[in-house]
Amino acid sequence: MRIGHGYDVHPLVAGRDLILGGVKIPHGKGLHGHSDADVLIHAICDACLGAAGLGDIGRHFPDTDPQYKNIDSRKLLRKVKEAIAGRGWKIANIDSTIVAQAPRLATHLPQMAQNIAADLGISLDSVNVKATTTEKLGFAGREEGIAAHAVVLLENR
Ligand SMILES: Nc1ccn([C@@H]2O[C@H](COP(=O)(O)O)[C@@H](O)[C@H]2O)c(=O)n1
Ligand SMILES: C[C@@]1(CO)OP(=O)(O)OP(=O)(O)OC[C@H]1O
């Protein structure tokens, strides 16, 4: 068994869609990034790569590479799944937290978990997605950006 941790942050800006866990969420602003900036998926990718000892998302998908411009991060997650499977690992479970003052995310969390479970080929009850505000403190509290944390446990295939 191996454990991994992932953390990511993207700034909130006007003129971008807000995509979290592969769900497009109505909001006045979206996350800025080279890809679709899906901060939750990025944190999960990093947790998986970390657990497998495979570095991080930027090493596998450089933000200088035009092929990843505005890419759907779910495609990156599916590539990460193949990379860890190639090392003989499968995912036992994932826990994750999105840190966002706004918008309210509770009604979208089940669909995010479904997307992630589908991309990783694991059961829905192996994926947990939570959300928290920071009670208006810090960059997330000022709605300047959104962060996500993830931990993943890998087991032998
Ligand atoms: N953007 C968010 C943040 C949180 N929630 C839900 O609110 C509940 C409590 O949040 P705290 O900030 O007090 O920890 C919790 O159930 C979160 O899922 C949300 O829907 N959207
Ligand atoms: C995903 C990648 C690649 O498009 O770009 P960003 O969307 O900027 O995201 P980041 O969290 O900085 O992770 C690594 C990148 O290389």
At 48, the pLDDT band (50, 70, 90 cuts) reads very high
**Portion of the chain with pLDDT greater than 90, in percent:** 99
Centroid of ligand 2 to alpha carbon of 80 (angstroms): 14
Domain count, the chain: 1
ipTM of the complex: 0.94
Supply the CATH number for residue 59's domain. 3.30.1330.50
- Feature table: binding site for a divalent metal cation: 8, 10, 42
Centroid of ligand 1 to alpha carbon of 40 (angstroms): 15
Domain that residue 27 falls in: 2-156
Centroid of ligand 1 to alpha carbon of 103 (angstroms): 10
* pLDDT single digits (tens) 89-134: 999 999 999 999 999 999 999 999 999 999 999 999 999 999 999 9
d(CA 7, CA 69) in angstroms, rounded, equals 21
pTM of the model: 0.97
Q: How far is CA 88 from CA 1, 30, 63, 155, in A?
A: 11, 36, 27, 9
* pLDDT single digits (tens) 62-88: 999 999 999 999 999 999 999 999 999
